[in-house]
Structure 1
Amino acid sequence: MDALLSVRNVSKTFQRNFKALDNINLEVQQGEFVALLGPSGCGKTTLLATLAGFLQPDAGEVHIEGRNVTRMPPHRRPLNTVFQSYALFPHMTVLDNVAYGPMRAGVRKPQARERARESLKMVSLDHLADRYPAQMSGGQRQRVALARAIVNQPRLLLLDEPLSALDLKLRKRMQLELKALQEKLEISFIFVTHDQEEAMAMADRIVVMNQGVIEQAGTSGDIYKMPRSRFVADFIGDANLLECDRDGSRLSLRCCGQPAGALDAASAGRDMLAMLRPEDIQLSRTPSGLDPMLHAAKVTGVVSIGSHTTVYLDLNGTAIEARRLGANDLGLNRGDDVYLHLPADRIHLIEA
């Protein structure tokens, strides 16, 4: 199946030889929800602006539905953009804000207003059509911006951190509503965010960017469980990155001598790190009840936030982070001795 969007070898350099995009290649399928995820300055917003036509790449091409749109102005591309600021006209009603796009495209005012009402109904705001943006909450204005973006029925919708200005609970609710709307409309979404939980909650596929390159693209499960680089492992969720020692084809964890994972180390690189997620580490007050691969450690800190408890440990001079669901059921405190189990089958090897 041909991709809806194809980004081919796109690069963009700004002043002082700052390379914002470095040979980016990416394909997005029809109806796919893709999140561009990464820290500030990684290139995700520059890539979005290049797709929208607000920036021209120094090299490479952008194709939509098989058509080269690299030099095409923004208003002629079959896409719409939802900005972080919403960019609503304050002097227009909600209905007129949404109807503006079809009217500019040549649709007569009665038909444009009818299409605008249908779009507002999709985001459950048709009852507020006569209000002005200043009379609405942040979440409502965000929905108006969405209605305005979908009223022209684009094949592709670009969203530049549209939820970042909302409070936590409203943002989580809007994540669910946004995903449901995308599935209903079957429009391809490219969503820029620096919030890993937001990306993992909504996206079919996550594109992790760093310093102008794509570090890894895949499902949230693949990126979380099998990161391809130290950056991805460290950026997505919390990770214990443990140094390894090699003896021929055998790798072991330097902190305890335990075999480093179930993978065949013979095919691995010379310098490797073992990644182990905090929730995969088991803790016990006593050595009984777990397999023989136990290691005595010292508790250096405990943080409980109700839904889970994070325990910070010192294992032979190596800092380890473990996580348990619920409250601090073991009653651990700083300075306590505890046994931990590092399951070899949960260890993922990455290049150091």
Structure 2
Amino acid sequence: MAALLTVDHLSKSYNKKVQVLSDVSLSVDQGEFIALLGPSGCGKTTLLATLAGFIAPDQGRLLIEGQDITALPPHRRPLNTVFQNYALFPHMTVLANVSYGPLRAGSRRSEARERALRALEMVGLESLAERYPADMSGGQRQRVALARAIVNRPKLLLLDEPLSALDMKLRKHMQRELKALQEKLGISFIFVTHDQEEAMAMADRIVVMNQGRIEQIGTGDEIYQRPASRFVANFIGDANLLACEAVQGELRLACCGTALKPLHAGDSTSVMAMLRPEDIGLSRQPGTGHPAQVESIVNIGSYTTYYLSLNDTPIEVRRIGANDLGLLKGDTAHLDFPVQKVHFVEA
């Protein structure tokens, strides 16, 4: 069975100089929630615009259920887009905004109204059908944009950072609502974001992009625990990337000599050891690890982050809750590096 969407070796450059997409390949299954994640300028919005048909690729193909749509204009593609600014018609009521798509597709006015009301019911706005966009909150306008996008039941829904204009509390609420709606509809979503927490909270799989290329595709857990590159390790969450050295047939941490693994013929030593801040042990008790100096402590309520120096190597450690160890800046703490938590990336 063919994937719902296949992106086949897609490339795009501007003025033949600026490469914004470079040999991008991706497949999306029916009912899957995909997040395109990366820093500004990485190519994720260009990829979304190419999928929508607003930008023509220089090379590669786009297929939906095996059918080549690369040359189709936007209005003939079986997908819809929710834009960052929602792009609602200000002079139309909510109902008229949502009815617009079915009417353009040839539906009778009564049928378009019925379908629009059903779409508004799905997003919890049927009681506000006669309001105008200006009279609604940001979260309500975002739901109207979603209703307008799903009213024709597209095979694929593209979302270009639709939550970025919302405040943090509403944004987290809308993340849950959007994921629940996607599961209810069974429509595949491709969601552009630069917010790693948002991607981790919502997506079935995350596509991490950098400089027009895909660095890694995987679940949030796979990308967080087993990043494919230094870029992914640094971009997804916080990471301690520690230099390694070969000593007497072993790979060891350069900062403290902790043995990580035996070396065999052909093993690369040009690697760095990655440890997430929450995986490193921290104690006040001498003899329980390697002594390090506390440089600073940051508590945000739910967790405390300790910034330490171990033989001039900066180390970040995180513990749930308050500073229960009672450590202060300038104190000596003791660090333990659990070998089973170490993941290696190329140096």
Alignment TM-score > 0.5, same fold? yes
Q: Give TM-score, length-normalised by structure 1.
A: 0.97
**Aligned residue in 2 for 1:230:** 230
Tell me the distance in 2 between the aligned counterparts of 1:7 and 1:264: 39
Q: Distance in 2 between matches of 1:201 and 1:351?
A: 28
1:281 corresponds to which residue?
Answer: 280
Match of 2:98 in 1: 98
Secondary structure (helix, strand or coil) at the match of 1:163 reads coil
- For the residue of structure 1 that corresponds to 2:329, the secondary structure is coil
Summarize the alignment of residues 1-352 of structure 1 with structure 2, pairs less than 5 Å apart: 1-15=1-15, 17-247=17-247, 249-260=249-260, 268-287=267-286, 290=288, 294-352=289-347
Verify the 8 A CA contact 2:244 2:269 in the aligned structure 1.
Answer: no
Secondary structure of 2:307 counterpart: strand
Cα offset, 1:254, TM superposition: 0.3
Could you say what secondary structure the match of 2:146 adopts?
helix
What CA distance in whole angstroms lies between the structure 1 residues aligned with 2:157 and 2:265? 45
Superposed displacement of residue 148, structure 1: 0.3
Using a 3 Å threshold, how does the CA distance of structure 1 residues 349 and 63 change in structure 2: closer, same or farther? same
Shift of 1:247: 3.4
SS in 2 for 1:242: strand
- The 2-side partners of 1:90 and 1:335 are apart by 59
Amino acid at match of 1:3: A
CA shift for structure 1 position 16: 5.9
Deviation at 1:269, TM superposition (A): 2.3
Mapped partners of 2:264, 2:217: distance in 1: 24
Q: Distance in 2 between matches of 1:20 and 1:88?
A: 29
Aligned equivalents of 1:341 and 1:351: distance in 2?
23
State the 1:164 CA deviation: 0.3
- Deviation string, structure 1 residues 318-348 (Cα, Å, up to 9, x no partner): 0000000001101111101111111111010
**Unpaired stretches in structure 2, ≥5 consecutive residues:** none
Unaligned runs of 5+ in 1: none
> What is the letter of the counterpart of residue 271 of structure 1?
S
- Root-mean-square deviation (CA, aligned residues, Å) is 1.2
- Which secondary structure state, in structure 1, belongs to the residue aligned with residue 171 of structure 2? helix
Letter of the aligned partner of 1:115 in structure 2?
R
d(CA) in 2 for partners of 1:158, 1:259:
47
How many Å separate the matches in 1 of 2:80 and 2:63?
15
State the distance in 2 between where 1:243 and 1:15 align: 40
**Aligned-partner Cα distance in 1 for 2:80–2:188:** 11
Distance 1:350 1:41 in 2: 24
The residue identity in structure 1 corresponding to 2:293 is K
**Aligned partners of 1:34, 1:137: CA distance in 2, in Å?**
27
User: What SS is found at the alignment partner of 1:101?
Assistant: helix
Q: What one-letter code is carried by the residue in structure 1 that aligns with 2:285?
A: T
> What is the deviation of 1:134?
0.1
State the alpha-carbon separation in 1 of the partners of residues 227 and 148 from structure 2: 37
| 1:3–1:28 CA contact under 8 A, matched in 2 | yes
From the superposition, tell whether residues 62 and 264 of structure 1 become closer, same or farther in structure 2 (CA, over 3 Å). farther
What residue identity is the alignment partner of 1:278? P
The count of corresponding residues between Structure 1 and Structure 2 is: 347
Post-superposition offset of 1:237: 0.0
| Counterpart Cα distance in 2 of 1:302 and 1:254 | 24
Structure 1 residue 15 displacement after superposition = 2.6
Q: Which amino acid aligns with 1:129?
A: A
Instruction: Give how far 1:21 is off.
Output: 0.3
Question: Equivalent pairs: percent with the same residue?
Answer: 66
**How many angstroms apart in 1 are the aligned matches of 2:73 and 2:319?**
52
State whether residues 249 and 266 of structure 1, in contact with CA within 8 Å, keep that contact through their aligned partners in structure 2. Answer: no
In the TM superposition, residue 270 of structure 1 has moved relative to its aligned partner by: 3.1
Deviation for aligned residue 1:282 = 1.2
Q: CA deviation at 1:264?
A: 6.3
Deviations 1:266-298 (A, max 9, x none): 56423100000000011111136x5xxx10000
Per the alignment, do residues 263 and 149 of structure 1 end up closer, same or farther by CA in structure 2, a change over 3 Å counting?
A: farther
Give the 3-state SS of the residue equivalent to 2:241 in structure 1: strand
Q: Which amino acid counterpart does residue 48 of structure 2 have in structure 1? A: L
- Partners of 1:116 and 1:151 within 8 A in 2: yes
Q: What one-letter code is carried by the residue in structure 2 that aligns with 1:310?
A: T
Deviation per residue, 1:159-214 (Å, 9 max, x gap):
00000000000000000000000000000000000000000000000000000000
TM-score (norm 2): 0.98
Q: Is the 8 A contact 1:248 1:266 kept in 2?
A: no
Q: What SS is found at the alignment partner of 1:100?
A: helix
The verdict on how the C-alpha distance between 1:334 and 1:70 changes in structure 2, with shifts beyond 3 A counting, is same
Aligned mates of 1:253, 1:87 — CA distance in 2: 53
